[in-house]
Each structure stands twice: as C-alpha cells, then as structure tokens.
Structure 1
Amino acid sequence: MVGVSVLGISGSVGTSTVKVLRQFPDQFDLRSFSVHSNWNVAKALVEEFSPEVICITDPKLVGKFGDSYLSTKILYGDKALIDLVQLPSVGVVVTAVVGARGVLPTIAAIEAGKKIAIANKETLVTFGPLINRLVAKHNTVMVPVDSEHNALFQLIQRETRSNIRAITLTASGGSFRTLPLEALEHVSVKQALNHPTWSMGPKITVDSAGLINKGLEVIEAHFLFGFSYDEIEVVIHPQSITHGIIETTDGACLLYASHPDMVYPIAHSLFYPNPTPQMLIERKPSTWNTFEFFPPDTKRYPGLLLAYQAGKAGGAAPGIFNAANEEAVALFLEEKISFTTIPRLIESALNQIENVFPETLDGYLEKDQETRNYIQREFNQGGVTT
C-alpha cells in the first residue's frame, strides 16, 4: 500500500481525494493530513482512517484539541505541515492547501523524495524557477492535480514534444460569463461564489469569476511543461467537459475530455505512472451535449492579461501577481472592495513594485511580503477606488 499525506483535506480537492481513497482501500493508506480549523471533519477522518498524525493550522486553535485523538497525534500550525509530509510511511503528498503557504511543505516533500500530487498552484506560480531546480536536483516526480494541467500532462506524454505547436487551457468563464460588463462593478460576494460548474473554496471561486484563476494556471503551465507564454492559450468552454487541448504542428487538435469531477485527475496523480485500474464514474460521450469554445473577453477578464504580463516579465513578477491577488480577493470577500477593484490592485502592484530575479527562497518570500504590505497600504490609504 502507498501511504498518502493530504494537505488541506477539508477543501474541495481534499474531499475528492478522500473519495478516491475510499474507492481504493487496498492501494492507498491515509497516513497524515491537515485541516485549517474544521475539527469535525478531522475527527471523523481520524476515526475512519486512523492516520499517524494530523495538523490543525489555524493559529487560534493551537492546543485546543490536545496532543492526540485515539491513536493519532495532533500537531498545530503551518510549520507542522512539514512533519506530515516527511513521515517515512508517506509515499505521495497531495498539496491542496490554498495560497503561497503551500511552498514550504512542498519543498520538504521534494527534498524527502516523495511523489508530489500538486494542487497548490501558487507554489509554482510564485516560486516556479526554484521549485523546478529542486525537482531536478532530487529527481522528484510531480504530477499536477488541477483538471486542466492533469489533462495536458496526459496529452503531452502521448505526443512528441516537437510535434506540439501550442497547448490550451479551458475555462468555464466563471460566475459572470454572461453578465453585462457594466454590472461587474456592483456584484456581490454571494454572486461571485455561485460558480456554474465546480464546487470550490471561496478564494478559487472568486479567482474563476475574474479568470484570474486561469491566469495563474497559465503561469503554472509554463513552469510545469516548459512552453513559452506565446504557446499557451486560453479558451472559454462553458460545458467544462474538455479540460485540455494540444495543437499539433499540422493544425490538428487533441482533446482530453471527461465529466467535470476531480476524482479523475486525483486518481491519475495517485496511481501515476501506472493507470487507474478501474472505472471511477461512468459518463458516456453520448451524454455530452454541445461543445462550445470561444476566446475570452479581455474587457471582462482584465486579470488574464495581467497574468500573461507577469509571466513574461519573469523573476518575482508572477509572485507579485499572486500575492496581490490573494490580498485583493481577501478584501473582496470581506466586502471591503468591489469585484473590479481586484485587477486594479494587481495592476498597481505589478507597476509599482520593483521586479527582481531571486536566487533563493528568501528572495521570493521578501517580494511576496512586500506585495502584501503594498496592497494593504494602498487600501488603508484609500489609494484605490473601492
């Protein structure tokens, strides 16, 4: 059996990972996991799976649940995530925590020789060059869990690299795909969280509404697959059945399609390099309706252009983009700024913060913190239209 560690098990990816673990109890053993604050979920999973150790990351809950439950050890705080991934019994780590905080446990897992099923896109977006150097140094296997990147991962492995002209990420278009442009300034948090296809956490759902999530995925795809930004495209696909497309040099396109459920990419990443041994969900192509594809409207989704701008600038710019977005989305979710202020704050950060090309983790972290401080200062000083 393969020991599994899941960072962020109470979120949407973590919940889907548990579904896969239940479907393959003879192949995988949940040895550790983290939640931020959801003790009820943690308690139930400890009773079901008997892991060695779990972690509660919410600093307000340190020590609240003691140091053990049944035979499972309880740790607290973000730093303890490193202990979860370094367990000798763990063979694969699913990184499903949200935000740049996922980088330190990911690095620890890489250095410990674990297979990484990476769902924390911010790690690659912010620290891409560093992560790729470490993956190469430690000969680590890293398999993307995001449905789009996992689809492209599988397609690219089946085709000669020299025969691929471009890769395409699909996007549903989010909550406001058909909303009149003039109404975007006044949308509510509740409206933004009403995603038409996927059930995800608040931050990623808001990102999807502005296609900023797809911008992050463009940068992630660059670091995962080595394609230039001119070779990475985005199309709106409302049905969310096609997850990735590669265009070959002769102009033909190969598509990866599946019912929109995260169990497919999660199972693939857990079993890789072996195939998933049994059917997960039966959805015949005859049940699929019309496939629509059209280019994104950059007036509706200005954050997507900013992501390309940051990616092409390189260095710390993708991290500046990510940190500015995290802070801006948090302000929106607290109803302190409008939805359309999010890309304006990101653009301001990219224009005002000096870009550098760090060689160390600390260099990236310094720019990350500088960006967060800048966004908070801009908001507190009224430097943005809210």
Structure 2
Amino acid sequence: MIGVCVLGISGSVGQSSLKVLRSFPESFRLTAFSVHSNLKIAETLIEEFRPEVVCLTSESHLGVWGDKKGGTRIVYGEQGLNEIVSLSSVDTVVTAIVGAAGAIPTITAIKAKKKIAIANKETLVTFGPYINRLVKECGVSMVPVDSEHNALFQLLEKEDRSNIKAITLTASGGSFRDLPIEDLPNVSIKQALNHPTWSMGPKITVDSAGLVNKGLEVIEAHFLFGFSYDEIEVVIHPQSLTHGIIETLDGACLQYTSAPDMIFPVAHALFYPNKTPKLLAEKKPFSWKELTFRDPDPARYPALALAFQAGRTGGSAPAVFNAANEVAVQLFLEEKIPFIQIPRIIEDALNEIPNTFPQDWQGFLEKDNETRLSVNKKYSKGVVV
C-alpha cells in the first residue's frame, strides 16, 4: 500500500488523483492532502478517506478546525505543507498547488526523499538548476504529471537519447485560439476562462489563453529532460489528443496520444516505475476523427517567445518570467489590466530586473520576490489603455 500526499486536492490534478485512488484502493492510500479554502471538499474527503493529516493553507482559515477533525490531525499554512510531505507514512507526493506557492513544499518533499509526481511547473521554472541538483543529491524519482511532459517522459524512456533530434509540446491554443487578433484588447475575464478542452483553475486557464502556460512548460521541459531550447518546439493542436512528440534523427516522429483526461498521466506517475495495471478509459484511436497541427502565431501569442528568451538567458530570468506573469494574471482577474497587457508586463520585467545566477533556492526566491514587488508597484493601480 503506497501512501500518497496530494498538495492542492481541490484542483483539476487533485481531482484526477482522487479518481486514480478510488480506482486502485488496493494499491494506494490517501495519507495526507492540502486544500486552500474549500472546507466542504476537505470535510467530505476526510470522511471518505480518513487521512492521517490534512493541511488548510488559506490564511482566513487558520485554526478554524483546531488540531483535529474526527480522527484526522489538522495543520495549517506553509509549515503545515512542509509537515505533511515529510510524514514517514507518505511515499509519493503529488505537487498540484498552482503557482510558486507549491515550490517550497516540493523542495521539502525532495529532501525527505519522497517520490515526486510533479504537476507544479513553477517549481522547475523558478528553481530549475537548484531542483535538478537537489533531486540528484537526494536520489529521488521525479515523474511529471502535466499531460505533455508525462507523454514525453514515456516516449523518451522508449528511445535512445542519441537518436532524438527534437521534442515537441502540443498546445490547445486556449480560449482565444480562433478569435480575431484585433478583438484581443477587449476580451473579458469570462471569455478568457472559457477553455475549449480542459477544465482548470482561473490562473492556468488565463495562462493557456496567452500560451504563457506553454512557455512555462518549455522551460520545465528543458530542466526535466535536458534538451536545449533549440531542440524544443511547440505546435497548436486543437483536438488535444496528441500530448507529446519526439522527432528522431532520420526525420520520423513518434507521438503519444490519448483522450484529454488527466487520469492517464496521474496514474502513470503514481504507479511508476510499474505500469498501470488496468484499463482507465475505453477510447479507440479510430474514433478520433482528425489530428491537426499548426504553428503558433507569434502576434497572437507574444509571451511564448518571451519564455524561450528567458530560458535561453538562464539564471534568474525564468523566475522573473514566472513571477511577473503570476502578478499580471492576478491583475487581469481583478480587472486592473487588459488581457493583452500580460505579455507586456512580462517583457518589462525581463528587461528591468537584473539577471543573476543564484546557487541556492533562497537566491531564486529573492528574485521571485523582487519581481513581484516591482510589478505590483508599477501596475497595481492598472494601466492606461
């Protein structure tokens, strides 16, 4: 019985993790989980799974349940997150908290030598060089849960690295994929949150609409797999059926294709290095009417080029890219800036925040904080359109 801790259980990856746990009760036990503010979900899951410890992370809920809920111990905040990932009864940690907030408990889990099913891309984007060193030092297994990275992970296991010319991440294109570019300055929050394929939280859905999410995944892929930025490509794939492609030296392409359901990568990550032992979904390839691909339009998705720029610059630039975007997305969701201002804010931050090459996680975190303070100071009252 593998003890599982899920960070961010109310989100899409967290909910997919629950599907897997319910499908394989003989293999996994939900030992601990965190939830930000959804007390109703937390209460229901405590009753269903009887976890050992639950962490509530919202400041507004500090102490709300005391230190016990039934037979489950309750902890709070960042300290609570670090506590639940370090439990001796936890074998695997699913890091599904969105944003840089998920990075510190992930680092703690690596130091505690847990297997990491990583769904928090900001951990590698912000702290990439440090995380890679730490994973190697601690000898832990880190398996990506993002559908694209998990697809590439599985493909790369089957092909010798010396025979691979490039890897390709697919993108749905987001909420504004087919919207006339001249309409982008006036899009609403409601439009941005209407993703054509996936049901995700507000931040990641806005990221997807501007392909910022794919830019973050490019940087993450670099740190996960060791490919240079010249060897990483992105294509728009509206059907969201092909999740990753590798191109071999002879020009052939191998692709991983599945229905757009996070249960596939989550199950793979939880069972790894073993195989998922039974059918998860009945969907024959011939039922997928078509697979189409096209290059992303740089005029529609300027943030994608900025992500490649930040990745190639290295050092703290990826951390600046991520922090500036997180603040910009929040400003958009607060209706303080228009959607098209998000990549402009990212570009300003990359140009204005001096680049450094930190040797520890605190150095990367300082750059993250510096960027957030700078962007908030400059744009918190909005912009003149």
Give yes or no for contact 2:315–2:356 (8 Å, CA) kept in 1: yes
Does the 8 Å CA contact 2:336/2:381 hold for their aligned counterparts?
A: no
Measured after TM superposition, the shift of residue 79 of structure 1 is 2.1
Secondary structure of the residue that 1:165 maps to in structure 2?
Answer: strand
Counterpart for residue 188 of structure 1: 188
Matched, 1:309 2:314: no
Q: Distance in 2 between matches of 1:8 and 1:60?
A: 17
Q: Secondary structure of 1:200's match?
A: coil
Determine whether 1:212 maps to 2:212: yes
1:337 aligned partner: 337
Match of 2:226 in 1: 226
Deviation at 1:290, TM superposition (A): 0.9
Residue by residue over 1:167-204, the C-alpha shift from the partner in whole angstroms, topping out at 9 and shown as x without a partner, is 00000000000101110000000000000000000000
Question: Which residue in 1 is equivalent to 2:257?
Answer: 257
Q: Is the 8 A contact 2:332 2:339 kept in 1?
A: yes
Partner of 1:145: 145
1:65-76 matched pairs, under 5 angstroms: 65-76=65-76
Q: What TM-score results when the alignment is normalised by the length of structure 2?
A: 0.99
Deviation at 1:234, TM superposition (A): 0.1
Q: Within 2, Cα distance between the matches of 1:65 and 1:192?
A: 36
Q: CA deviation at 1:42?
A: 0.3
Q: How many residues align?
A: 385
Q: Match for residue 371 of structure 2? A: 371
- The equivalent residue for 1:347 is 347
SS in 2 for 1:355: coil
- Corresponding letter in the other structure for 1:360: D
Aligned AA (2:340): T
Deviation at 1:15, TM superposition (A): 0.5
Q: What corresponds to 1:110 in structure 2?
A: 110
Q: What's the secondary structure of 1:296's corresponding residue?
A: coil
2:356 corresponds to: 356
Distance across 1 between alignment mates of 2:356 and 2:19: 42
1:123 maps to which residue? 123
Unaligned stretches of 5+ residues in structure 1: none
In structure 1, what is the Cα distance between the partners aligned to 2:163 and 2:384? 47
Counterpart for residue 159 of structure 1: 159
Deviations 1:35-57 (A, max 9, x none): 00100000000000000000000
Deviation digits for residues 237-275 of structure 1 (CA, Å, limit 9, x no counterpart): 000000000000000000000000000000000000000
User: What is the CA deviation profile of residues 204-244 of structure 1, one whole-angstrom value per residue up to 9, with x for unaligned ones?
Assistant: 00000000000000000000000000000000000000000
Aligned to 2:91: 91
Distance in structure 2 (CA, Å) of the matches to 1:185 and 1:140: 45
Q: Distance in 1 between matches of 2:253 and 2:106?
A: 33
Secondary structure of 1:243's counterpart equals strand
Separation in 2, partners of 1:198, 1:380: 30
**What whole-Å deviation, never above 9, does each CA across 1:299-320 have from its counterpart, x for those lacking one?**
0000000000000000000000
Stretch moving more, 113-122 or 58-67: 58-67
Q: For residues 184 and 86 of structure 1, do their structure 2 counterparts lie closer, same or farther at Cα, with a shift above 3 Å needed?
A: same
Would you say the 8 A contact 1:31–1:89 is kept in 2? yes
**How big is the shift at 1:385?**
4.1
AA aligned opposite 1:109? A
The residue type equivalent to 1:111 in the other structure is: K
After the TM superposition, list the runs of 4 or more consecutive aligned residues in structure 1 that deviate by more than 4 angstroms.
none
Does the aligned pair in 2 maintain the 1:341–1:385 contact within 8 Å? no
- SS of the residue aligned with 1:90? coil
For the residues of structure 1 that align with 2:77 and 2:384, how far apart are their CA atoms? 35
Aligned equivalents of 1:71, 1:64: Cα separation in 2? 16
Q: CA RMSD in A?
A: 0.8
Determine if contact 2:125/2:220 at 8 Å carries over to the other structure: yes
Counterpart residue identity of residue 204, structure 1: I
Quote the offset at 1:380 in angstroms: 3.9
Matches of 2:78 and 2:345, distance apart in 1: 27
Deviation at 1:381, TM superposition (A): 6.5
> Residue 169 of structure 1: SS of its match in structure 2?
strand
5+ residue gaps, structure 2: none
> Taking structure 1 as the reference length, what is the TM-score of the superposition?
0.99
C-alpha change, 1:327 and 1:380, in structure 2 (3 Å) is closer
